[in-house]
């Protein structure tokens, strides 16, 4: 009985921490579209309109994603809804969903 309980507890803990430490993938964008970050193939590309994308180094520690931009740190908190939140004035970046098209 105790072994079964431990197995159930371990499975629940793994499910709870499933997203922690995983690298984000895809494009995250502010509500205004002025700021976006694309995570692709282990790299991060920051775009601040009207400029084009710039590759920036990033680190993941728990639920924190830290971008290093021009010698400064921009720290985002990852939420369960797959959004990234940073202090004002940046705010929350939402994952941009790719619309379905036939053949995809």
**Domains of the chain from N-terminus onward:** 23-95 (2.40.128)
| Model confidence at 81: pLDDT above 80 | yes
Indicate the average pLDDT of the chain.
80
The average pLDDT across 75-95 equals 93
CA angle 80-93-32, nearest 5°? Answer: 145
Which two tokens mark 72? 């400064």
CA distance linking residue 28 with residue 33, whole number of Å: 10
Q: Report helix, strand or coil for 22.
A: coil
Residue 100: pLDDT band by 50, 70, 90 thresholds? low
Rounded Cα–Cα distance for residues 67 and 73 (Å): 6
Dump pLDDT digits (tens) for 26-76: 999 999 889 999 999 999 999 999 999 999 999 999 999 999 999 999 999
Percent of the chain with pLDDT over 90: 59
């Amino acid at each position: 009985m105790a072994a079964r309980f431990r197995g159930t507890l371990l499975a629940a803990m793994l499910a709870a921490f499933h997203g922690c430490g995983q690298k984000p993938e895809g494009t995250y964008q502010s509500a205004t579209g002025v700021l976006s970050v694309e995570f692709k193939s282990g790299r991060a590309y920051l775009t601040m309109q009207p400029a084009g994308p710039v590759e920036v180094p990033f680190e993941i520690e728990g639920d924190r994603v830290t971008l290093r931009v021009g010698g400064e740190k921009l720290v985002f908190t990852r939420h369960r809804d797959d959004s990234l939140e940073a202090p004002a004035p940046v705010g929350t970046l939402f994952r941009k969903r790719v619309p379905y098209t036939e053949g995809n």
